[in-house]
Chain A
Amino acid sequence: MTALIALIQLSAARGIRTSPLTSLTADFTSLFELVVGTATSELRSQVREAASVPHLWGENALLRAENRRLSAENSRTQAMLAAYSAEQALQPVIDESARAIPSRVIGFPPENELEVATIDRGARSHVSRDDGVLNGDGVVGRIIQITPFTSRVLLITDYTSTIPAVVQRGHWWCIVKGNLNSLHLEYVSQDAHLRIGDRVVTGEARSFHSGALIGRIVRIERTDAGLYQTAVVRPAVEFGSLDRVVIVPK
């Protein structure tokens, strides 16, 4: 048997060709080589991954901490940006008057019975009664009560608030009265051709110079039998998010 195998191998070697026994053996073992090689390769990668897990835990913890730090920094930056934007919104109002006093809203009446806001400027900041209060969007109200360090502002949406106003488009005079969530335009001449969207601004009066935006007309109420026509005005100021205001002494 051995002699036969040797004879076959020598014969193939002398003829410079692959022996059939060699070819058969190589093909047969290649199957096992493939399976073992695949398994070995897979095992090596698994072992490599398992070995790197402690390192990944540490890296993950570092990344989480960095993420938290960056999120907090982002929140602070957003808050600073919002505060800066709010301050910048007041700048045109401050520039218009040399005696403008920037201020912040710090409180509200306990029972919400009146539309009043408390601000952090008082008599020591040269605030006077009936001074007008504005913000970047428009008219906020007027000062009704002063202490040394704080003041109370009667908002224009209060029922007792009345402001002389002008419908800007046709320069029609009127009175704006507060109506809790909106404003009521009264004593408008029947000859006035009001339109939805007309701007309503302050007239020259005790608390305000003329031209400060009060709001825009959203509904017109006109009857032929009445002496005057009325309208509903949406305030330009968002009173729900009132924060920074400017006191404009007259």
Chain B
Amino acid sequence: MIGLLSSQSKLIQGAPFAGPPWQRAAALLALALLAQITVLHYFTFRNAECSPVLVVVVWYAIASDFRRATIFGVCAGFLEDALSGGTGGAWTASTAVTAFFTAMLSRSFFSDSIPLLAAILVVATLLRNAIFWWMMEIQGYPTGVGYVHFHQTLWQAGYNALFMIASVLFSRYYVKGARE
């Protein structure tokens, strides 16, 4: 889907797309999703679980334009909704909005520094979870449960930031170092 729309957006925008290929992003998303529904459940702390899916979405949103980022966010959120059970379209909407705002935000600066990436991820986690619980309340979930999960959200933001830092360091020193 992203591949089809990317060819259209290339004509509209006029500049060649220089971000990561959507196939790589899709493969990373699939791996992250598989890890989250199976293995990572057993590595929760304070009931918070690291979200590699959000890390992949933020990474793609930073590296690409807002149109591709939003589509990628919609796909990632839809898959999470399909595998969650009882969340309706909450993850779809929250992940899409988060990807959109991350892509818009990253246009105004060069987001290459690790602390900046970690900060973006923390904000993205808080924003996404806030939208998610708001959407759940709209869909009929008991009011106020989102506030109960706020502590969990803070922990998840920390884990996501650590995961992003580890992934960036691994990519810089091992993957690129091996290629050289």
Residue numbers of A with Cβ under 8 A of B are: 107-114, 116, 118, 144-145, 152, 154, 159-160, 180-181, 240
Q: Please state if B84 and A114 are interface contacts (CB–CB under 8 Å).
A: yes
B85 interface residue (CB < 8 Å to A): yes
- Is A112 within 8 A of B47, CB to CB? yes
Are the CB atoms of B86 and A110 closer together than 8 Å?
no
User: Could you show 30 A-B contacts with beta carbons less than 8 Å apart?
Assistant: A108-B37, A109-B37, A109-B83, A109-B84, A109-B85, A109-B87, A110-B36, A110-B37, A110-B51, A110-B53, A110-B91, A111-B36, A111-B49, A111-B80, A111-B84, A112-B48, A113-B84, A114-B86, A114-B87, A116-B84, A118-B37, A118-B83, A144-B85, A144-B86, A145-B85, A154-B86, A159-B142, A159-B148, A160-B141, A240-B42
Residue of B nearest to A115 (CB): B47
Nearest CB in chain B to that of A179: its residue: B148
Knowing A159-B145, A159-B148, the reply to whether A113 touches B83 (Cβ < 8 A) is no
Bits for B28-41, please: 1 = Cβ < 8 Å to A, else 0.
00000100111001
Contact with A along B41-84 (1 / 0, CB 8 A): 11010011101010000000000000000000000000010011
List residues of chain B with CB under 8 Å of any chain A CB: 33, 36-38, 41-42, 44, 47-49, 51, 53, 80, 83-87, 91, 132, 141-142, 145, 148-149, 156
Taking the closest CB of chain B, its distance from the CB of A127, in whole angstroms, is 13
Q: How far is the CA of A46 from the CA of B131 in the complex (A)?
A: 81
In chain B, what residue has the closest Cβ to A110?
B36
Q: Which residues of A contact B36 (CB under 8 A)?
A: 110-111
| Chain A residue at minimal CB-CB distance from B128 | A111
Chain B residues within 8 Å of A113, by CB: 84, 87, 132, 149
4 nearest CB pairs, A to B = A152-B85, A112-B49, A108-B41, A110-B36
B84 touches A160 (CB 8 A): no
Instruction: Please measure, in the bound complex, the distance between the C-alpha atom of A194 and the C-alpha atom of B86, giving whole angstroms.
Output: 35
B47 partner residues in chain A, CB cutoff 8 A: 112, 180-181
Does B148 lie within 8 Å of A116, measured CB to CB? no
* Chain B residues within 8 Å of A116, by CB: 84-86
Could you say which of A110, A180, A181, A240 contacts B84, with CB atoms under 8 Å apart?
A110
Of B44, B87, B132, chain A has the most CB atoms within 10 Å of the CB of B87
Which chain A residues lie closer than 8 Å to B80 at the CB level?
110-111
| Residue in A108, A111, A114, A145 whose Cβ sees the most chain B Cβ within 10 Å | A111
